[in-house]
Amino acid sequence: MQIATPLGPIAADPAKVLTFPRGLPGFEECTRFLLVESEELSPIQLLVAVDQPDLMLPVLSTLEFDPTYQPALDPPLVRDLGAAGAAELALMAVVTISEEGRRVTANLRGPLVINPARQLGCQTILPDERYSLRYPLVGGANGGGGA
């Protein structure tokens, strides 16, 4: 399968397509996504909407910058993703890069939760205000622990 994106065509293995049954907030109609790696952006990846390939979100595994980030996930969410427990799930943060590229932040309040074994995912909004919407990765003091 080929996906035509603004960055050029991407060859996609249909078995690697992630399904977000409810879409993402603001993009509910987009339910199929592909994680795309790029040497230029590494370790940041792009989450590309298969059916709307101009929608590409930079994302980063939370393990890349804070291995202690383990927010409490609602048990129904874990079950909906077909997991026996939160340990089976991968967490990713949507990344924002300022226009000049000097400030890079991660949204820890709204992580993407993915069950890699089932290729299922969702974005959840955490009620815990300890987690920042703009956790500084570059261009700010890194406070640790998601504060």
Domain ranges of the chain: 2-138
pLDDT by residue (tens digit) across 68-123? 999 999 999 999 999 999 999 999 999 998 887 788 999 999 999 999 999 999 99
The three-state secondary structure class of 22 is coil
pLDDT band at 140 (very low <50, low <70, confident <90, very high): low
Count of CB atoms situated within 10 Å of the CB of 58: 17
pLDDT of residue 147: 40
Architecture field, domain 2-138: Roll (2.30)
pLDDT by residue (tens digit) across 2-46? 898 888 888 888 999 999 999 999 999 999 999 998 888 889 999
CB 21 within 8 A of CB 31: yes
Q: Among 27, 19, 45, which residue's Cα sits nearest to residue 119?
A: 19
Evaluate if residue 146 carries a pLDDT over 60: no
Residues with Cβ < 8 Å from 130, sequence gap 6 or more?
A: 145, 146, 147
Cα distance between residue 116 and residue 110, in whole Å: 18
Is the pTM higher than 0.95?
no
CB 114 within 8 A of CB 92: yes
